[in-house]
Amino acid sequence: MKLICANFKMNLTSRVLKIYLDEVSGKIKDNVVFFPSVLYLSMFKERGYTVGSQDISFKEFGSLTGDLSVTQLKEFGIDYTIIGHSERREFYNDSKYVKNKVKIALTNNIKTILCIGENLKEFEEGVTLDILKKELDTALKSNLKYINNDNLIIAYEPIWAIGTGKIPTNKILTETIKEIKDYLQESYNLKLKVLYGGSVNLENIIELEKISLIDGYLIGGASLNPDKFLSLINKVN
């Protein structure tokens, strides 16, 4: 079964989420992981869902105002975390912290969804693969002893596809995901799952499902409406 990650980002409130949870009740399979705001993790946990955090601090404890440590998040029952999302790389300088965050997550037995992706300029210049390799190297090189084929998952998210409604063609996506998998195998002897993220929606999911190399999806906007999200995940094999 493919892995489906619902990334709510900084959206929805507890009142709306109560309605959401009632609507999806009994219709969510085990392959779905919810990433709501940490404030609402327990609402999802109480209903028996697998949950993750959208980020973790690069340190385990200490004087870091506003940060959340993996130890604190584990108390809320997270099994997963997203690390290196492009929004965090852009606004919070996260590329600098990815290496430490991956180490902290994995040494605390938290499955890590590592986001990688090129921006539009890089895509147009044809340097996508260089960017992806660099991001992979930064996260993996010093952490190899903690990584196995199950605890690290790659989310390939072209930055220009996030929230824009534009996605790569199936040909480009197939090539890129194959290149990511080949690189992981050849350079690190790893066989990791690779998810696709960036404007996954009800209109494009049928085409995306034709790409056998995709092991799942990281879904933002299209996960916010319970009816649409259910229709979407019902189309994923």
Which residue number, 53 or 199, has a Cβ lying nearer to ligand PGA?
199
Which residue number, 25 or 163, has a Cβ lying nearer to ligand PGA?
163
220 near ligand PGA (CB under 6 A): yes
Which residue number, 4 or 104, has a Cβ lying nearer to ligand PGA?
4
* Residues 147-176 within binding reach of ligand PGA (CB under 6 A): 157, 162-163
Q: Which residue in 52, 117, 168, 197 binds ligand PGA (CB under 6 A)?
A: 197
Q: Of 229, 222, 169, 219, nearest to 197 (Cα)?
A: 219
Query: Choosing from 23, 157, 203, 209, which is the catalytic residue?
Result: 157
Which residue number, 7 or 100, has a Cβ lying nearer to ligand PGA?
7
53 near ligand PGA (CB under 6 A): no
Secondary structure in 3-state letters for 77-134: CCCEEEECCHHHHHHHCHHHCHHHHHHHHHHCCCEEEEEECCCHHHHHHCCHHHHHHH
Contact yes or no for 31/4 (Cβ under 8 A): yes
- Helix or strand run (H / E) with residue 228: helix 226-234
CA-based R_g, the chain, Å: 17
Cβ-closest position to ligand PGA: 220
Read off the tokens for 52. Answer: 């993750």
Which residue number, 168 or 220, has a Cβ lying nearer to ligand PGA?
220
The nearest distance, CB 82 to ligand PGA, in angstroms, is 8
Is residue 209 part of the annotated active site? The answer reads no
In angstroms, the CA 54 to CA 7 distance is 7
The nearest distance, CB 75 to ligand PGA, in angstroms, is 25
The nearest distance, CB 218 to ligand PGA, in angstroms, is 4
Interface segment toward ligand PGA; rule CB under 6 A; list 125-133, 141-149, 213-221, 227-235 = 213-221
Phi, psi of 155 (to 5 degrees): -110, 110
Is residue 157 part of the annotated active site? The answer reads yes
Q: Is 188 exposed, middle or buried (0-12, 13-18, 19+ CB in 10 A)?
A: middle
200 near ligand PGA (CB under 6 A): yes
**Integer CA distances (angstroms), 74 to 11, 80, 113, 190, 212, in order:** 22, 10, 16, 26, 33
Annotated catalytic residues are 85, 157
Which residues of the chain form contacts with ligand PGA (CB under 6 A)?
7, 157, 162-163, 197-200, 218-222
